[in-house]
Amino acid sequence: MLVGGLTRTRELFRLWRNEKEDPEPFYSMLAREATADLERRYGALDGRTVGDLGCGPGYYARELRARGATVVPVEGAMEELAAAGAPLSGAVIGDAGQLPLPAACVDGVFCSNLLEHARDSQAVIREMERILRPGGWGYLSWTNWYSPWGGHDMTPYQFLGPRLGPKLYERRHGPPRKNRYGEGLFAVHVGPTLRYMRSRAGLRIERVEPRYWPWARFISHVPGVREVLSWNCVVRFRRAE
């Protein structure tokens, strides 16, 4: 398993290096893996209703629909929906921290790489809890601030902290191409996020792991280390019955 995991990690890293110029191969691979994993854990997606928060161009939504799920894609900006061509059908434009959806309306909620772009990450978590039916599953992943890519375009300045890092980057390089800190990028950490989720009576965390190397799950249990080495943190959880 370790050898296979390292092979997968190398392939993901190869595709990620070209992500800015050609995002489709990288995100399509992640989408195929994610949907297959969801079915292994929770059973067939066919006939299930799944919310895809921060759906972007729809890489995950399309894979979920290909497996028979009824998907409710939610995105905050039309330009993100159209980033890879025609916007995804049935998409809802809305704030993931204040969803235009009724309570207990989905069997599963999928949220990939949105949290670090949300002004209020805790509001997003509360909304995931609210729209899930009792017993429903949740998938939450984000790029934690002190990970190697936590600063996005201004990496590695994030290691100087969320106050000094962005200020120094802009002084030297000007505003980033995308996701300026305080506008489209915010500091989200593993420890505080897990503590907040555990404080929610309606949520039950099932598993925490680094997204790109789940075989190194032990990293997620080491405070401090996980903030740097996780790179992208995944939390799998359930809505309490």
In a domain, 9, yes or no: no
Q: Looking at the structure, tell me whether residues 133 and 224 fall in a common domain.
A: yes
Q: Looking at the structure, tell me whether residues 130 and 172 fall in a common domain.
A: no
Q: Looking at the structure, tell me whether residues 182 and 97 fall in a common domain.
A: no
Among the residues of 47-189, which ranges form H helices?
Answer: 59-66, 78-81, 121-131, 164-173
In a domain, 21, yes or no: no
Q: Residue 118 and residue 122: Cα distance in Å, rounded?
A: 9
Q: Looking at the structure, tell me whether residues 101 and 194 fall in a common domain.
A: yes
200: its two tokens: 């929610």
Closest CA to 55 of 111, 138, 3: 111
Q: Looking at the structure, tell me whether residues 113 and 232 fall in a common domain.
A: yes
Percent of the chain with pLDDT over 70: 90
Domain CATH number, residue 231? 3.40.50.150
Are residues 233 and 149 in contact, defined by beta-carbon separation less than 8 angstroms? no
- How many domains does the chain fold into? 2
In a domain, 181, yes or no: yes
For residue 211, pLDDT over 80 is answered with yes
The most distant pair of C-alpha atoms in the chain lies apart, rounded to whole Å, by 52
Are residues 111 and 74 in contact, defined by beta-carbon separation less than 8 angstroms? no
For residue 90, pLDDT over 90 is answered with no
Quick: pLDDT tens for 216-229.
Answer: 999 999 999 999 99
For residue 6, pLDDT over 50 is answered with yes
Q: Looking at the structure, tell me whether residues 73 and 113 fall in a common domain.
A: yes
CA angle 122/39/68 to nearest 5° reads: 95
Are residues 107 and 88 in contact, defined by beta-carbon separation less than 8 angstroms? no
The per-residue pLDDT for 3 is 38
What is the extent of the structural domain holding 220? 32-144+189-239
Closest CA to 218 of 228, 208, 227: 208
In a domain, 6, yes or no: no
Q: Among all chains, which residue has been given the structure tokens 């992640």?
A: 30
Q: Looking at the structure, tell me whether residues 102 and 180 fall in a common domain.
A: no
Say what angle helices 59-66 and 23-42 make with each other, to 10 degrees.
40
Q: Looking at the structure, tell me whether residues 160 and 44 fall in a common domain.
A: no
In a domain, 220, yes or no: yes
Q: Looking at the structure, tell me whether residues 206 and 116 fall in a common domain.
A: yes
In a domain, 19, yes or no: no
Q: Looking at the structure, tell me whether residues 150 and 65 fall in a common domain.
A: no
Q: Looking at the structure, tell me whether residues 180 and 103 fall in a common domain.
A: no
Among the residues of the chain, which ranges form H helices?
Answer: 2-17, 23-42, 59-66, 78-81, 121-131, 164-173, 190-199, 225-229
The per-residue pLDDT for 20 is 64
Closest CA to 238 of 206, 197, 212, 210: 206
Which stretches does DSSP call E strand in 81-213? 92-93, 106-112, 132-142, 203-210
Q: Looking at the structure, tell me whether residues 43 and 110 fall in a common domain.
A: yes
pTM, to two decimals? 0.90
In a domain, 10, yes or no: no
In a domain, 55, yes or no: yes
122: its two tokens: 């805790």
**Residue 173: count of CB within 10 angstroms of its CB:** 11
Quick: pLDDT tens for 9-50.
Answer: 677 667 666 666 667 777 788 899 999 999 999 999 999 999
